[in-house]
Amino acid sequence: MDFAMDQRTKIHPKRYMMWMAIVSIIMMFVGLSSAFIVKRSQANWVSLEIPLVFFYSTGVILASSLTVAMAKRAFGLRQISRYAVWLGATAVLGILFVVLQTIGFIELWNSGVTVSRNVSFSFLYVIVGLHALHVLGGVVALIVMFIKSFSARNIVYSPLGINLMATYWHFVDILWIYLLIFMMIEG
């Protein structure tokens, strides 16, 4: 029962909803960023060392933004098999991103920088961890869409799904870039 079709404005309500959700996620990271800034100005702050792996993962997530854009383009051209390939590639890159983040954490942990070592590193774990959770949420959606693209029974004509997916995916990408730069400058 999708009554959203009844609306008469240009922007689809679910698109609006995605933007509102993004605003809401931004507010969570704004909360964390400001907590970070407040803590930084207090005593006992150890400056952050960002693990090298995090820069590789940045490359991966940037590439995934490209692949999701390609998927969107392929969908618009009705090239469904290419669409599926690009979608799958984005999901794989998303998983690779999370794996790289985890490797970064393991390296940190093994070098003695555990989550409770110092507040600055606690923040690193929390912020990067929460971002990775949002990426994982996107990966789940990507996998669902990937599987659906093979279904002959339910052919999707509306570009809404892939548009929302692309918006969200670009968002987590930009969010990561922001977080990385923020932690490099402020940390």
Kindly list the residues in this chain that would bind another protein in the complex (CB under 8 A): 1-9, 11, 13-14, 16-17, 20-21, 23-25, 27-32, 34-35, 38-39, 42-45, 115-116, 118-119, 122-123, 125-126, 130, 157
Measured from the CB atom, the residue of 32 and 80 that comes closer to another protein is: 32
Measured from the CB atom, the residue of 41 and 81 that comes closer to another protein is: 41
Measured from the CB atom, the residue of 58 and 122 that comes closer to another protein is: 122
How far is 176 from 178, CA to CA, in rounded Å?
5
How far apart are CB 100 and another protein at their closest, in Å?
22
How far apart are CB 63 and another protein at their closest, in Å?
29
Q: Which residues of 77-102 are buried (b: 16+ CB within 10 A; e: fewer)?
A: eeeeeebbbbbbbbbbbbbbbbebbe
How far is 42 from 29, CA to CA, in rounded Å?
20
How far apart are CB 173 and another protein at their closest, in Å?
20
How far apart are CB 10 and another protein at their closest, in Å?
10
Measured from the CB atom, the residue of 139 and 164 that comes closer to another protein is: 164
How far is 121 from 106, CA to CA, in rounded Å?
13
- Largest distance between two CA atoms of the chain: 62
Measured from the CB atom, the residue of 63 and 134 that comes closer to another protein is: 134
How far apart are CB 101 and another protein at their closest, in Å?
17
How far apart are CB 99 and another protein at their closest, in Å?
22
- C-alpha to C-alpha distances, 14 to 19, 160, 161, nearest whole angstrom: 9, 8, 9
> Can you say whether the dihedral through the CA atoms of 161, 162, 167, 168 is positive or negative?
positive
Measured from the CB atom, the residue of 67 and 83 that comes closer to another protein is: 83
Q: Which residues of 24-60 are buried (b: 16+ CB within 10 A; e: fewer)?
A: ebeeebeebbeebeeeeeeeeeeebeebebbeebbeb
